[in-house]
Amino acid sequence: MNAKENALRIVRFDSPERVTGGCPAHGVGYLGCNHEGFAGGGHHLPVGSVWRDIWGTEWHREHEGVMGFPRGNPLANLPADLAAYAWPDPDDERIIRPVYEQVKGCNREEAFLCGSHRDTLWEKCYMLLGMENAMCGFYTEPVAMREVLHRIMDFQLGIARHYLGLGVELVNMSDDLGTQCGLLLSPALIADFLVPEYRRLFALYKAKGVLVNFHSCGHIEPVLDVFMELGVDILNPVQATANNLDIIRARTAGRMALQGGVSSGMIAAGPIEAIRTEVHRRIWQLGREGGYFCGPDQGMPWPETHIQALRDAIAEFGRYPLNLNLISKG
């Protein structure tokens, strides 16, 4: 079977041939999904660069090898700033035109056409307000917070309709809800403020049979049921140092595929034999019944020999039926 069929079988826990690093995908994304602005900008710019994205958030690129930071927040003062704020329009030709260009050349036999909803809701909210303002706003300005979240999701729904018109089969969503040792927001806040808005976007995609790959860093064990109830098909990056991966696999087996799980810190530090051992351990721990794409639990610059060792180990140890005793001395 080709890589696309194998990935579908991984997601469905349906006898894949091999563990891989992810779904083969031809990605498309609107202008601004990676924090670009109408006048340019982006995380590829040199250190010291400052720009505004399509939402009016001001970004500062401060460290080499690290994305910029949102330092200027157009909705920092709720509810006063809402009245004059100009929400971006998902039908604005400047925003959506790149998607129609990017779709060209997609081989749908070999790859999923995949749309991006980076910063789907919560992260976009705190980029507009500032982190402290957003967290306080749930308690001090709940009506305004609901309006902000609803308008953000209105935008995402508009983008989704374009993606669906092009026939996307997979979408990437993302909101970092966890820290290293707990959630950023309480389960009650997530259920009250975020889930109703997430449900609007999920319902649109699930009605069309589109797969959802959801990214949330940090400790996410308390909201696993939320992800599964919404209809997440693949959850990443399941940070090894922030979660009990045995618990996560036990609760999601047969219901939600996992992606990631290999400590990025360990990949960075090595040595190569330790990387090989860790890859084998995670494949056995998380992928015995399918439902697992093996890879780093964060994105970062690694030594090329170390990331290649990870890829080689996935290819070596990821063939079904898996073998607990397969590790060689090579």
Q: What is the pLDDT of residues 108-126, one digit of tens each?
A: 999 999 999 999 999 999 9
- Supply the CATH classification number for the domain 3-45+78-236: 3.20.20.210
Low-confidence ranges of the chain (pLDDT < 50): 328-330
Q: Which own/partner contact pairs does 159-163 have at CB distance under 8 Å and 24+ positions apart?
A: 159/30, 159/90, 159/96, 159/115, 159/117, 160/115, 160/117, 160/201, 160/204, 160/205, 161/90, 161/204, 162/30, 162/90, 162/96, 162/99, 163/28, 163/99, 163/115
Q: What is the pLDDT of residues 278-302, one digit of tens each?
A: 999 999 999 999 999 999 998 888 8
Q: Are 314 and 19 in contact (CB under 8 A)?
A: yes
- The single residue listed with the structure tokens 């080709």 is 2
Q: Which two tokens stand for residue 195?
A: 């889930």
Cα–Cα distance between 87 and 159 in angstroms, integer? 14
Q: What is the pLDDT at residue 329?
A: 40
Cα–Cα distance between 105 and 103 in angstroms, integer? 6
Q: Which two tokens stand for residue 10?
A: 């991984």
Q: What is the pLDDT at residue 328?
A: 44
Q: What is the pLDDT at residue 326?
A: 58
What pTM did the predictor assign? Answer: 0.95
Q: Which two tokens stand for residue 260?
A: 């990631």
Domain map (residue ranges) of the chain: 3-45+78-236
Local structure of 176: helix, strand or coil:
coil
